[in-house]
Structure 1
Amino acid sequence: GTRHQTRRQQETNSIALLETKVLLSSTKMMMNVLRQRVLSSRLDLIRCHAGSITSLLSTSQSLHDRLRASVHSLAGNELQLRANLRLVSKRRMIWNRRHSVHSESKPLTSKSVEEHEDKEEDNAFPTIEDAKALPLAYRKMDNVSLVTLAGMGQHSARREVLIRHIMAVDEVPYGVALETFQKIREANFDKMYLLGLPFQIGAASMIIGGLACLPLVFHLGTVEWFNQTYVTADVPPKKDLETWLEVGAWSWNWMEPLLGTGTFVLLCVQYFRINMDHLGIKPYTHRIKQARAHRLVKLFPKYDREVLMNYSETATIYSIEK
Structure 2
Amino acid sequence: MLALSWSPLVRATTARVVRRALATKVPVEIAEKPHVVLQDGAEYRVPAPEEVTEMPRKFRQLGNEAIFELSIHGKHGATRERLVREIMRVDQCDWVVARQKVSEMNDVNDKFIPFAQVPYYVGMTSGFLGGLISLPLVFHKGTVVWFAENVVKMDPSEIPVDEMTTWWTVGSFSWSYMEPLLGTLSFVLLAAQFSRANMQHLEFHPYSSKINAMRGDRLCRLYPNYEKSIVREFAITDSWNR
Tell me the TM-score range normalised by the shorter chain.
0.7 to 0.9
| Cα RMSD after superposing both structures | 1.9
Structure 1: how far apart are the matches of 2:32 and 2:169? 79
1:35-54 Cα deviation digits (max 9, x unpaired): xxxxxxxxxxxxxxxxxxxx
Q: Does residue 166 of structure 2 align to residue 243 of structure 1?
A: yes
Instruction: Flag structure 1 segments of 5+ consecutive residues without an equivalent.
Output: 1-114
Question: CA 1:157 to 1:313, structure 2 compared with 1: closer, same or farther past 3 Å?
Answer: same
d(CA) in 2 for partners of 1:119, 1:200:
58
The structure carrying a bigger helix percent of its residues is 1
- Evaluate the alpha carbon distance shift between residue 151 and residue 220 of structure 1 in structure 2; reply closer, same or farther with a 3 A threshold: same
Distance 1:277 1:121 in 2: 50
Choose the corresponding residue for 1:130, options 51, 70, 95.
51
Structure 1 runs (4+) deviating above 6 angstroms are none
CA shift for structure 1 position 230: 1.0
Shift of 1:164: 1.6
2:67 is equivalent to residue 143 of structure 1: no
Query: How big is each residue's C-alpha offset from its partner over 1:52-110, in whole Å with a ceiling of 9 and x where there is no partner?
Result: xxxxxxxxxxxxxxxxxxxxxxxxxxxxxxxxxxxxxxxxxxxxxxxxxxxxxxxxxxx
- The equivalent of 1:187 in structure 2 is 108
Aligned length: 204
Looking at structure 2, the residues matched to 217 and 132 of structure 1 have their Cα atoms a distance apart, in angstroms, of: 63
Q: Distance in 1 between matches of 2:171 and 2:120?
A: 32
| 2:113 counterpart letter in structure 1 | M
Match of 2:74 among 153, 167, 177: 153
* Matches for 1:1-322 after TM superposition, within 5 Å: 117-119=32-34, 121-122=36-37, 124-233=45-154, 234-238=158-162, 240-316=163-239, 318=240, 320-321=241-242
- 1:11-39 CA-to-partner distances (Å, cap 9, x unmatched) read xxxxxxxxxxxxxxxxxxxxxxxxxxxxx
Gap change, CA 1:285 and 1:119, over 3 Å in 2: closer
In structure 2, give the amino acid aligned to 1:257. Answer: P
Q: Which letter does structure 2 place at the counterpart of 1:158? A: T
**TM-score normalised to the size of structure 2?**
0.78
Q: In structure 2, the residue corresponding to 1:231 is in which secondary structure?
A: coil
Please report how far the alpha carbon of residue 119 of structure 1 lies from its aligned counterpart in structure 2 after TM superposition.
Answer: 3.9
* Distance (Å, rounded) in 1 between the aligned partners of 2:238 and 2:181: 37
Contact (CA 8 Å) 2:137, 2:144: kept in 1 or not? yes
Q: Return closer, same or farther for 1:116/1:245 CA change in 2, 3 Å cut-off.
A: closer
1:308 is aligned with what amino acid?
V
Residue 289 of structure 1 aligns with an amino acid whose one-letter code is N
User: What secondary structure is seen at the aligned counterpart in 2 of 1:272?
Assistant: helix
Larger radius of gyration: 1
Give the direction of change, closer, same or farther, for the CA distance of 1:249–1:279 in structure 2 (3 Å limit): same
Aligned partners of 1:298, 1:187: CA distance in 2, in Å? Answer: 12
Q: Distance in 1 between matches of 2:224 and 2:161?
A: 75
- 1:139 and 1:300 map into 2 onto residues whose CA distance is 22
Identity of aligned residues (%): 36
Cα offset, 1:116, TM superposition: 9.2
- Which structure carries more strand by proportion? 2
- Give the direction of change, closer, same or farther, for the CA distance of 1:121–1:291 in structure 2 (3 Å limit): closer
Following superposition, the deviation at residue 237 of structure 1 comes to 4.2
Shift of 1:192: 2.3
Once residues 128 and 229 of structure 2 are traced to their aligned partners in structure 1, the CA distance between those partners, rounded to angstroms, is: 38
Q: How many Å separate the matches in 1 of 2:86 and 2:32?
A: 46
C-alpha distance in 2 between matches for 1:139 and 1:246: 64
* In 1, Cα distance between equivalents of 2:55 and 2:124: 41
Alpha-carbon deviation of 1:117?
Answer: 4.7
d(CA) in 2 for partners of 1:120 and 1:199? 53
**What is the letter of the counterpart of residue 198 of structure 2?**
N
